[in-house]
A and B are shown apart, each in its own frame.
Chain A
């Protein structure tokens, strides 16, 4: 079962930053925060992950609250191609069984307006 809470949908304007929130109040000390996205008619795609510190990569930035009970995925300049469902997932890499698998929730459907 997903242990994260995300808004069902969000809207953004093209070329503006987007902040996608995720609440995970029951996160354990060994849970990593992963973000995936699913573009229409495609498989999910890895975006970013982190543990405690903020993370940046070519796709996005991940801002993690100091108490780790929430995080925010930041797309610095949204493009039409970023319209997708974004999933925030907790994963504990210490588990080799089902607890270590990617368990998807409902995610946030991001719409980008031109």
Chain B
């Protein structure tokens, strides 16, 4: 019954590698997000997608490329990983439509802890 699921839960990789994190939601929401939580526990939005279309890119390096094959999935691909990319990445979704805000709550996944060595 998992609403927002992310895989993998843990990811350890070397600098310079390329990796992907997958996210799927079964709530029928049309908007999905990626957040990054750094070592100081500060949560920052990275991207939001509405119906497979990018809405927000919050000054994230272009090494990060989100991909949404359908509105239930939003994957995050990261090229040339750097030490500073180490963080916990959270996927979230909400019933939110472009140009018309929604006051519904966000549902978050349990996070992917990425460690770059």
Residues on A facing B (Cβ under 8 Å): 32, 34, 36, 38, 41-46, 49, 85, 91-98, 100-104, 106
Contacts and interface: CB of A to CB of B under 8 A. Distances in A.
Question: Which 5 residue pairs of A and B lie closest in terms of their CB atoms, listed nearest first?
Answer: A43-B108, A46-B105, A93-B101, A104-B43, A93-B103
Contacts of B66: none
Nearest to A47: B105
A97 B56 contact: yes
Given A93-B103, A104-B43, 5 more contacts: A36-B106, A43-B4, A49-B103, A100-B101, A101-B45
B114 interface: no
B97 interface: yes
B111 A49 contact: no
Most interface-central of B55, B90, B103 (chain A CB within 10 A) = B103
B55 A96 contact: yes
Interface in B67-117: 90, 92, 96-103, 105-111
B105 A94 contact: no
Given A44-B90, A97-B56, A103 B45 contact: yes
A96 B98 contact: yes
B105 A34 contact: yes
Contacts of B106: 36, 44, 46, 102
Contacts of A97: 55-56
Given A42-B110, A101-B48, A106-B42, A93 B102 contact: yes
Nearest to B92: A43
Contact of A102 (B45, B99, B100): B45
5 contacts: A42-B110, A93-B101, A102-B45, A104-B43, A106-B42
B92 A94 contact: no
Given A97-B56, A102-B45, A43 B103 contact: no
B44 interface: yes
Contact of A96 (B92, B100, B105): B100
Contacts of A36: 105-106
B88 to A, nearest CB: 9
Contacts of B110: 41-43
